[in-house]
Structure formats: structure tokens, C-alpha cells
Structure 1
Amino acid sequence: MSRSTTPARRRPQRPLTAGAVVAVTALALLGGGPAAAATRPSGAQPVVTRAALDPALVAGRGAKVGFLEQEAENASTNGEIIGPDRSAYTLPAEASGRRAVRLTPGEHVEFVLPSAANAITVRYSIPDAPNGGGITAPLGVAVNGKHIRGMTLTSQYSWLYNQYPFSNDPQAGLLHPDWWITECSCVPSATTPYPTISTPFRPTHFYDEQRLLLGRTYRAGDRIRLTAPAGSAAAWTVIDLLDSEVVAPPHVRLLAANVLAFGADPTGRRDSAAALDRAITFARRAHLKVYIPPGTYQVNRHIIVDDVTIEGAGSWYTIIKGREVALPTPAPDGSVHTGVGFYGRDAADGGSRNVHLSGFAIEGDVRERIDTDQVNAIGGAMSDSTIDGLYLHHTKVGLWFDGPMTNVRVTNNIIVDQIADALNFHIGVTNSLVAHNFIRNTGDDGLAMWSETTANARNTFDHNTVQSPTLANGIAIYGGRDNTVSHNLIADPVREGSGIHVGSRFGAQPFAGHLRITNNTTARAGTYELNWNIGLGAIWIFALDRSIDAAIEVVGDAYLDNTYNAIMLVSDWPVKDLYSITNVHFRDIRVDGTGTSVVSARSAGSASFANVDARNVGAVGVNNCGSFHFTPAGSEFALTDLGGNDGGWLAPWLLPNAITCDDRPPVSPPPPPARW
């Protein structure tokens, strides 16, 4: 259908800083150490959180969702609480809130329902098979002491290893021996003797989740017990959290092109792709909507949509499920597989318009990352279109749009357990909105705008929740004009990225006009950057391909419990004397807890600060290295104090450009965030 569907990660460079820079210390990752053995009594009261935080701390931020989140570590258990730990390649690091509960066979965790519920979602991890490929294992579900049904957990969609784009083989050697790796501080292929890298190397993407209708509605105060049965094939089962909700009855559309009338099979035994095509063709002629009633429909290829409305009975009831299918020969776009997905026409062919998709789930079968493959849940180009109320699971990217296209609204979707991004606006997407989407466990950026050859413009990411991206960022903007990132909640990025990212990279078009980043909250962000061997900021602005000089307004954000620093402005070592970052303005910001600094400047340029309040700062307020020339005139990066910056972090002696370059200061874990 279209070209490569995720930006290739750049070949890692040598570390960002020169070896002569002082104050290098051993890495002190926040919350490391062995698992904590602990249990909670059976009478524990329900603790409802949002991104493992007190909901009062994130009021007005993130997606409006129909479920209530409960962290397993706050429930009753005779298992073991693991974490907190933010070290990459560990189970706690990828857990919501960086803690979870580990069960061995026979152990349980029990949640008290905070509100009525007839459905649950369980986020979990079980081991991989010794040679990769995953296993299955049972999980018992009981209510008020009575077993009601079991779930079959799987690790077939989890457990990736090695370097980008990763391997399913836990015993694989280095995929790129000519890349810099932190583990040996070397380029292995250029090293004599060749270093031994232990396997499995860099395990990641541990978690998956499953949904379950309980068969009836239970009351607040009823107890949901999850048990790893004795004799389970899984040596351990980690439970991260439970989401509970009341799912409404199935939606019915009587006056519509019902896919059953065109031969679709709701049992999933026969392929229904051709039946969906026939229903779409008839609906367009008859000016009707397409209706997909409850059932599981097997679809193993793209369904092409244009000028059509397709409604399901609700994402819990209408399931479009497919296998990943190897193509006999590669497609013109480089795909070697196809799979289930709803695709607009290619932009080069005029794209699609007036497409409206709602009320169904897309369950894919993607278990490896092949960037050329078009195995996304939603793809192509769709102007004047809406995607609302879908559940997207086990595809490569939830929604990947290749423009030019305009006026698409992506709202109220749940996008989880993706191999790469949840959503990417790629090439010339304009005047579009992404709002109230819930995203968890992506293998790359949660939400991204990538202006690779044509600028994305006048788009808004608003009121979305992004949790636990295992690689890269919660929200990333790569070039473009007059875009907005507002009222989002981003938590627990794991490695080589952070909460919010503004990047001149991946060949993106220049930033122009304004980029407005307003009223967002990040939690436990600021990850360890493997290739640079330093920590990133909760928000980080990166000049790699060119200077960044468009107006960037960061207003009203809250950066909570930052692993390293809250704000970073950085250029890569090979281009530090070529590019700079200017015209950046921070105002009305709250920083509650940093492992190191409030601001880390590792670039030439400047930024202004007004009403930026900080507390629980782990090191000096400003780490100002500039472009590492340490001139007598001071750093090449200047800070402007516009007043109201409370907490003592921006002391007068730091202004405008005092050199305060501590390359890798010790990390001081901050206390948990609290109301300001």
C-alpha cells in the first residue's frame, strides 16, 4: 500500500560528551535493587490510580476512559512485590508505576472493585519459551471466592531481544556489531579481542494484556482474585494492574448493510474479507452504513475503505481478527507480509475521504518488527474522516497515516501492545485532531508527527494518555508547522526516549511557525540514553539534522518524579558546533522531583523561563554544558530569567550562561509527587 511505516532508528553514535569532561560517576538508576518481598492483607481497600498516580495529581490531563485502574502492588497478595526499578531490561521498569506483583504457581493477587463492573483487563507478563516464540499459561479468575472462568495468557506477542529492529531469538548474537554499545563502551567489530556479549541481550517488551467479560455485573466491594494455578507452565506470572469497567450492551444498527447478509462469518472459522468488501460496495451504492454485529471475523488482509461508514457493536463485541500472512513476493512498498487492517487509498492515488470507523476491535498477529511491512491496524490516507471507539491490539502500528491528507479525527480509541508506534502522522497531515486516546505498551513512540518530506501542520494531540512505551517517547514531534500538544498524560517511558520529545531528526522538515506544548503532565519520565550514557529530560528538545529556531512555547506542564532532569536541550556531539536551539520559552511549569537537574543544556542556543517552580531537586538546578567548549565567556547556551521561578533552582549566579557542567552526576531519587 504505502512506504516504510516507521522511522528507522539512526545508527548509534559515540557518546554525546568528550571523555575529558569531568564528574563521570557510576550509573545510579533510580529505584534499582532486588525485588521487595511484601504482601498486603486480604482486607485492603481499593486504591484507584491514573498512571499509578493519585488521580488528583493529573486532574484535567489525559484521556477520558470508561475504566478504573488498580495497581497490583496496592492489592492483596501472597505473592512478591517487585520494584521499584527503572533499569531497562527489567520487569519492574516496564510496569506501570515501576512496580508489579510476581506470582509463582498457587499464588494470587486480589482486587476489591471500586465500582460496579462486568469486564476487566489484566496486564501481565509470563516467561518466554527457552528458544523464543512464547508460551501459554492459565490464570484463574474468581469473584468473592468463587471461580468463574479462566484466562489463557500468552507471551507469543512479548519478549523482543537485541538491537533495533530486534529479534525473537533470545540466543541471537549482535544484530549490528558495527554499532556502538554501552555494555562494552565500544564498537564490537572494531575491538580486539571481540567482546563477549551475554545472551539474552537486552530483553524487552515483556508485557501483554487481555480483556475479559465477566458474564454479569458485580458490585463495588466485590473481590476479583487472579490466581496462577498450581502446575502452571509458567514458572512465574507477573500481574501489573487490573482495569475494571461496565461495558454497555451491544450497539445495534438496523438500517444498514449488515455484513452477515453478504456472507461474513461471525464465528471466525471462515475468512470474511470478501464479505466485508461486498458490504462496503453495496453500502456506497445504497448510501447506507456498514454494520458488523457481535462476533469474531477472520480477516487476513487490508480492507480498502473510501467514502464509507463502518460501525461495530462495540469494541468488546465486534472483533476483526487476522493472521499475519507472508507474501509470495515482496510488494512494491517493500512489505513481505500482509495482515488485518483498514486502509485508505494511497495518497499517490488520491487517498480516501469521508471514512468513518467506530465500535470494533482489530486484533492482529504481529510478533516481529519489520519496518517495511504494512501490518498496521489503520493505514493509508483518509481525509475528512473519523476513527472513534476502536480497540487496536497486536498490530505493528495502531494508526499510520501517509499523507498528504487533511481533517482526520482520531478519538476515544484504546491502542495497546504494539510492536512500534500507536499513531504516526507521516508526511503532510494537516488540520487533524488526536484526542482522548488511551495508549499502553508501544514498542516505539506512542504518538508521533513525522514531517519526513512534507510538513505536518495545524494538528493537535489533546487529552491522550500514553503509558509505558518500551522504546522512544510518549509523544514525539519531528518537524512541522503550528502544531499543538496539550492536556496529555505520559508515564513511564523505558529507554532511549522520554515523555515529550521535539526532534530535528529522521530527515524531518524544519520546525516553523509555533509549536505549542501546553498543560501536559509527565510521570517517572527521563530515561537512560544507551548510546550517550546519560539521562534524558522528561521533555527533551534535540537538534540533530538542523537547528531548531521556530517559536516553541511550553506552558502549564507538570513534570513529576523525573528519573534524571525535567528539561533537556541537546545536540549530538558530531553536530554540536553546527546546530543550535533558540526561541524556546517555558512558562508556568511545575517540577516535582528530579534525580539530577531541572534543566540540562547540552547545546548552543538559549531559552527563557517564567514561573517555573521546582522542588525536590536532586542536584544543581541547571546543568549547563553548552556545546562543551567551556569558553572564558561562559557556556554557549544562555538562560533568561523572566521572573517567578521559585524553588531556588535558577539562582542569579547561573545567569545568563554560567558553566555548570556535571556530565553524569549521582542520581538522588526524589520523594513521590504530591499536591502542589
Structure 2
Amino acid sequence: MSVRPRWSALVLGALLGVTGTAHPASAASDRQFTRAALDPSLTAGRGANVAFVEQEAEHARTNGTVIGPDRTAYTLPAEASGRSAVTLDPGEFVEFTLPRAANAITVRYSIPDAPAGGGITAPLAVTTRHVSRTMTLTSQYSWLYNQYQFTDDPQADLLHPDWWITECQCVPAATTPAPVITKPFRPMHFYDEQRLLLGRTHRAGERIRLTARGVPTTIDLLDSELVGAPKVDLAGVNVLLFGADPTGRRDAAPAIEKAIAYAKKTHRRVYLPPGVFQVNRHIVVDDVTIGGAGNWYTIVKGRQVTLDAPAPDGSRHAGVGFYGRSAAEGGSRNVHLSGFAIQGDVRERIDTDQVNGIGGAMSDSTIDGLHIQHTKVGLWFDGPMANVKVTNNIVVDQIADGLNFHTGVTNSLVRNNFVRNTGDDALAMWAEKTTNSANTFDRNTVQTPTLANGIAIYGGNDITVSGNLVADPIREGSALHAGTRFGAEPFTGYLRFTGNTTVRAGTYELNWNIGLGAIWMFALERSIDADVQVTGDHYLDSTYNAIMLVADWPVKDLYSIDGVRFEDLRIDGTGTSVLSARAGGSASFANVDARNVGAAGVNNCGRFGFPASGSEFGLTDLGGNDGGWLGPYVPNVITCNDRPPVTPPPPPSRW
């Protein structure tokens, strides 16, 4: 029997099915702003420093219905920030009181799919004392169904009838009679977001009301921001001089390429002024600097184009993107992109398609201040390549990853980026075939990846994950993950997780029928035996375990996780244990403080051999581990509860 968290079960039974509790209009907390749906003091010093402030709809004034909190996958609340939102019937409103002056807003929302899939559009009224505007919302980029790689058809049969299906505990193609699969099967990826410049500055204390029109509309949150004036670069090569259309009606790609060629010849920058520029294919960049007027003002927007025949790289579609040359061609160098938005048109996941916002290989390059939305992956780098810095970007509403350092990326940095609503790992390093080395993910914020992990490291040498804030992974992943998976090279040198905060993390793993940890280490294809240290992390309100160390069952006697050191951690709330060990190996603990632990502090199954000498996973107490969670279980006491019951902890609070 599956074990799921016992938060209120608001199961989405149909495309329009939403249940909850009426929430009367009240101003008691409508000026509250949060980070990852928490009091900002609980996440201080962690995550990206962003220009906007976040306000959760469930704290605002509304005559709609609050849904959640609920962490059950395939439901609207589970994919919402903080696992709660507000659903508005037509005519109902949610009203936010600005905590700071703002002239721009971002609304994260969900509206129903079309009955046959493909999405609909619906108006949302935005009113203030001075402004009355209408946003046209769409569900064309949300609502996926079924099994990986998913489909936008809610009535589709199983994509892989030869795969194990947890719901029926069977392989449907080999089962007689065939199981009845409820359609739509596993709906997910419900939310999208839209930005709006208000045309004037609104002072702190003014109200912004969002009113649903036409269809039920779920509002998750409002981000408000004071956007500065557009940047003007008079010394740059202006793409308008080469015929680029700033209205978005005509293809601007040829003009942009001509401007790039002229800028390289004259050793100048390329300037993308305010406007919408239509680009439906890759702009190949090498030894060039391209800057926009700011990502609220300069938008490079593309249509997805179906190719007559697959491209040599396997792509079946083309779409907007800025790409370095491939590593096989020597890659690109000295590329600097900043200050514009990339808006794609990707509505389904096709892993062979190169329809990413940024791609290729770029050494000695910088990507700064972009806003990337509706591409397959925001930034996918195929090395070998070195010394790329990805900073201060916003990556939202991706079908797959937010960013991936894939194959031989070295000496590179990802810092101060905000990533929300990815369809796979939000930030990943994947050392496939050629190892990654000396890379750092530092002070990024990740929210609501709908599948897989917040930050995932697949092999590599001398890797650092530091100062990040990761909240609300939805299913089959964790906030922080290290795994010997997907053909990755081994972990060598050191791997450091330092000073990160996770919130409401640790999801339900469908295939194993168990809950994961907020940090999850997985020995699948080889042992994890590098110098792995986890120091200074805070794990808040973990759905299941705070820490999980596991080897896959078929290789549990072959591979182990050895010598991991945990030090100076704060664990506030676990649905089950502080540590779940399902592997051979060992770990040590120093100054690991835990409170509000839902089950036994340690769930130590080892390799499931249960020898008389104790578990095959050894624990070392180095002292200072407050909360009484570790003491009874060292060095290797067997305390194996394969699927312990879940006890939701109280909300996190100041330590």
C-alpha cells in the first residue's frame, strides 16, 4: 500500500475538479510577503537576491476558495508554491496589498485545459485605484499527462503499456485482463505565469485586485517589482538599423545576424532595443556581446516550427534560441548575453529537439539578466567547455530542465538565478562520457519543479552546491540530489553541499513506493565514495526524510555510499525520519540538530541483509547532535521500517 503524506487530500478527479474551503475577504495578513512561502527570516542568506517580492494568494484578501495545503502529486495544491493557492470562479477576486512600490507584476496561475487538450485562453481583470487592464491567460503551455515523456492529450492511452504502473502494481501489456486506467492519467504541470507592466508606479499599501473572467482560475501568487527605465546603448550596433522589426510581426533573425556580423567586424556590441523580435530558429553566437534594454523591455520571441525532415542532431522542430557552436566544431568563446527575454513556444517534451533558450558550447562566456520562458530547457550546455558564468537570470515554465551542465563543463559558475516550474531537474550537472569539474551552483532559488530534483549532481570532480534555496519539489525527486545515474562518470575529488536551505522537500517515489529525503544520495550504477561533505544546510518541513542514502535494490550488494560527513545541520520537521539508510556504507554526524521528527530518528535498513552484527550501514556520532535523534542508533542498530507512517510536522519557526 502506498504511503502518502496525510495533508488534506484535494485530489484532482477531472480537468476542472477543485475543492477547498471558502476564504472570506480579510486584510489581516494581505501585506505579508514571503520567500518560498515562508517568513523571509527563515531563509535569510540563502537563495537568489531578486528584484521582486512574492505574495501568496492564500494570504491575500479573497472571496474565492483556498485549496490545500496538499502535497499529493497530480493536484493543483501540490504544484502551488507553499502547496496552497486560491481558486476563483468567474467574478470572484483575490486582492493583494503591495508591500513595496511597484510598477510591474507577475501572476502565477492555472486555468483548465481544453477537453481534448491543447489549452484554452481566458481573461483575467487586473484593477488598481489607477489602472484597469486585462491579461489574457493561457493553458497552452501547461497540462501534461501520462507517462514520460508525457503528452498534451488527456484522453491518450498509456504511452508505455510495457512499463510498470504503480497504480495497478502491474505491467499492463502483460496483465490479463488489462487494467482500466482512469483518464486523464496523471495530469501535471498545471501552472504558468505571465508578466505585466502596469504603466505607472503604485505605492506600498495600494491594492491590486485579480478577478476571474470566463473560467475557474487558480491564482498561486503575485510577484511585484519596481522596474527601472529601459537601458539605452548608443555605442552598440542597433539591430533596427539592419531591418529588425520591433513589433514581432516579421522575422527578425536575418537582421540580428547581420548586426552580429557587423559588430564582430567593428569590435562593437550588439544592442537589442525595446520591442518584440520574432526569431524562430537558433541565433549562433561566437565572440560577440549582445545586450538588451532589460528583460521586461526586450523580448526575443519565437514560434515552434515543424521541420520537413529531422535535423542531423535529431530535432524535429526548430525554435528560438541563442546557441554556441557545437563542441565538435570547437565550440564558441567570448559570448556575452544580457538584458533581454527569450520566449519560446514549446508545448510538448521531445528529448531529441534542440529547442532550448541557450544551447551549445560557450567557453569564457557570461549569461546575465535574461528571462527565459516556454522553451524545452532554459540553458543546456553540451561541453567540453570551460569558464561560463550564468548569473542573475529568471528561468520559468520549462518543459524539461532549467539549466544543465552536460558533459565536460569545467570551472563554471551558476549564481543568483531564480528558477520556477521546471518539468525536470531545475539545476543539473550531468557528467556523461566526459566528467564535469570545478563547477559551482551558488545562491540560486528553485521553486516547484514538477518532476525530479531541485538541484541534481550526476557525477563529477570537485563540485560545490552552496547557499541555495530549494522549495516544493513535486514528485520523484528531492531538493538536493547526488546520483551515480544516467551513464555519468564517477564522483571524484570532493562534493560539497554547503549552506543550503530546503523547504517542503522529499517527494513520493512512484517506482519504489516510498518517500525520499530532502537531500538524496543514490548509488545506482557505481558506489559513491568520493569526499562528500554536507555542512550548514537547513532542512525545513521535509515531507518524508531529511536525509536519504540508498542503493537500488538489484545492486544493493555491489554498490555503497561511504564516508559521507554531515555537520552543522538544522532539521526542523520531518514527516518520517531524520535519516533513512537503504544501502551499505557509512556516514558521520557532528552538530546535527533536529526537532519535530515524525518517526524514529534513524531508519537504518542497510542492505536489507539484517545480519546479527547489525546494519550494513554504519553511523558515527562525532558529538553535538541535539534532539536525541541519533544516540540510540549508533553505530549500526537495525531500525528498518520500510514504509513508516507520515506525521506532518508543525510549520518551521526560528531556531
Range class of TM-score, shorter chain: over 0.9
Q: Structure 1 residue 584 and structure 2 residue 564: aligned?
A: yes
Q: Which residue of 1 aligns with 2:15?
A: none
* Counterpart contact for 2:2–2:513, Cα < 8 Å: no
Q: Distance in 1 between matches of 2:177 and 2:551?
A: 32
Q: Which residue of 2 aligns with 1:55?
A: 40
Q: Structure 1 residue 666 and structure 2 residue 645: aligned?
A: yes
Superposed, 1:172-321 pairs within 5 Å as: 172-229=156-213, 232=214, 234=215, 236-321=216-301
1:617-648 per-position Cα deviation (integer Å, ceiling 9, x unaligned): 00000000011111111111111111110001
Of residues 100, 109, 118 in structure 2, which corresponds to 1:124?
109
Q: Tell me how far 1:32 sits from its aligned partner.
A: 3.0
Q: Distance in 2 between matches of 1:25 and 1:222?
A: 47
Secondary structure of 2:249 counterpart: coil
| Paired amino acid for 1:203 | P
Q: Which residue of 2 aligns with 1:6?
A: none
Q: Structure 1 residue 97 and structure 2 residue 106: aligned?
A: no
| Paired amino acid for 1:426 | H
| Paired amino acid for 2:159 | L
Q: Which residue of 2 aligns with 1:655?
A: 634
Q: Distance in 2 between matches of 1:25 and 1:438?
A: 33
* Counterpart contact for 1:356–1:387, Cα < 8 Å: yes
Of residues 510, 521, 531 in structure 1, which corresponds to 2:490?
510
Of residues 395, 412, 417 in structure 2, which corresponds to 1:432?
412
Q: Distance in 2 between matches of 1:619 and 1:41?
A: 37
Superposed, 1:193-592 pairs within 5 Å as: 193-229=177-213, 232=214, 234=215, 236-592=216-572
Identity of matched residues, %: 73
| Paired amino acid for 2:295 | S
Q: Distance in 2 between matches of 1:420 and 1:45?
A: 34
* Counterpart contact for 2:5–2:72, Cα < 8 Å: no
Q: Distance in 1 between matches of 2:573 and 2:171?
A: 35
* Counterpart contact for 1:430–1:457, Cα < 8 Å: yes
Secondary structure of 1:368 counterpart: coil
* Counterpart contact for 1:140–1:147, Cα < 8 Å: no
| Paired amino acid for 1:118 | N
| Paired amino acid for 2:190 | F
Q: Which residue of 1 aligns with 2:58?
A: 73
User: 1:284–1:28: structure 2 CA closer, same or farther, 3 Å change rule?
Assistant: closer
* Consecutive aligned runs of 4 or more in structure 1 exceeding 6 Å deviation: none
Of residues 78, 93, 97 in structure 2, which corresponds to 1:112?
97
* Counterpart contact for 1:30–1:668, Cα < 8 Å: no
Q: Tell me how far 1:45 sits from its aligned partner.
A: 3.9
Q: Distance in 2 between matches of 1:199 and 1:638?
A: 46
Q: Distance in 2 between matches of 1:326 and 1:267?
A: 24
Q: Tell me how far 1:28 sits from its aligned partner.
A: 3.9
* Counterpart contact for 1:31–1:669, Cα < 8 Å: no
* Counterpart contact for 2:46–2:443, Cα < 8 Å: yes
1:253-285 per-position Cα deviation (integer Å, ceiling 9, x unaligned): 001110000110001110000001100000000
Q: Structure 1 residue 152 and structure 2 residue 136: aligned?
A: yes
Secondary structure of 1:607 counterpart: strand
Secondary structure of 1:73 counterpart: helix
Q: Distance in 1 between matches of 2:514 and 2:45?
A: 32
| Paired amino acid for 1:481 | N
Q: Tell me how far 1:175 sits from its aligned partner.
A: 0.7
Q: Distance in 2 between matches of 1:181 and 1:491?
A: 28
Moved more, 482-491 or 630-639: 630-639
Q: Distance in 2 between matches of 1:469 and 1:394?
A: 14
Structure 1: give runs of 5+ residues left out of the alignment: 1-23
Q: Distance in 2 between matches of 1:27 and 1:595?
A: 10
Of residues 16, 27, 32 in structure 1, which corresponds to 2:9?
32
Q: Structure 1 residue 168 and structure 2 residue 152: aligned?
A: yes
| Paired amino acid for 2:382 | D
Secondary structure of 1:152 counterpart: strand
* Counterpart contact for 1:495–1:527, Cα < 8 Å: yes
Q: Distance in 1 between matches of 2:30 and 2:23?
A: 17
Q: Tell me how far 1:193 sits from its aligned partner.
A: 1.2
| Paired amino acid for 2:645 | P
Q: Tell me how far 1:327 sits from its aligned partner.
A: 1.0
Paired residues, what number? Answer: 647
Q: Distance in 1 between matches of 2:287 and 2:5?
A: 55
Q: Tell me how far 1:25 sits from its aligned partner.
A: 7.0
Of residues 601, 606, 625 in structure 1, which corresponds to 2:605?
625
Moved more, 330-339 or 90-99: 330-339
Q: Distance in 2 between matches of 1:419 and 1:238?
A: 20
Secondary structure of 1:362 counterpart: strand
1:429-483 per-position Cα deviation (integer Å, ceiling 9, x unaligned): 0000000000000000000000001111000000000000000000000000001
* Counterpart contact for 2:5–2:648, Cα < 8 Å: no
Q: Distance in 1 between matches of 2:189 and 2:350?
A: 16
| Paired amino acid for 2:641 | D
Structure 2: give runs of 5+ residues left out of the alignment: 11-18
Q: Distance in 2 between matches of 1:25 and 1:535?
A: 10
1:581-637 per-position Cα deviation (integer Å, ceiling 9, x unaligned): 002110000000000000000001111111000000000000000111111111111
Moved more, 573-582 or 458-467: 573-582
Q: Distance in 1 between matches of 2:634 and 2:24?
A: 50
Q: Structure 1 residue 642 and structure 2 residue 583: aligned?
A: no
| Paired amino acid for 1:555 | T
Secondary structure of 1:309 counterpart: strand
TM-score (norm. length: structure 1): 0.95
Q: Tell me how far 1:31 sits from its aligned partner.
A: 4.2
| Paired amino acid for 1:547 | S
Q: Distance in 2 between matches of 1:503 and 1:660?
A: 24
Q: Tell me how far 1:192 sits from its aligned partner.
A: 1.5
* Counterpart contact for 2:3–2:513, Cα < 8 Å: no
Q: Which residue of 1 aligns with 2:16?
A: none
Q: Distance in 2 between matches of 1:103 and 1:222?
A: 21
1:205-233 per-position Cα deviation (integer Å, ceiling 9, x unaligned): 0000000000000100000000013xx1x
Higher relative contact order (CA 8 A, sep 6+): 1
| Paired amino acid for 2:573 | G
Q: Distance in 2 between matches of 1:31 and 1:600?
A: 25
Secondary structure of 1:92 counterpart: coil
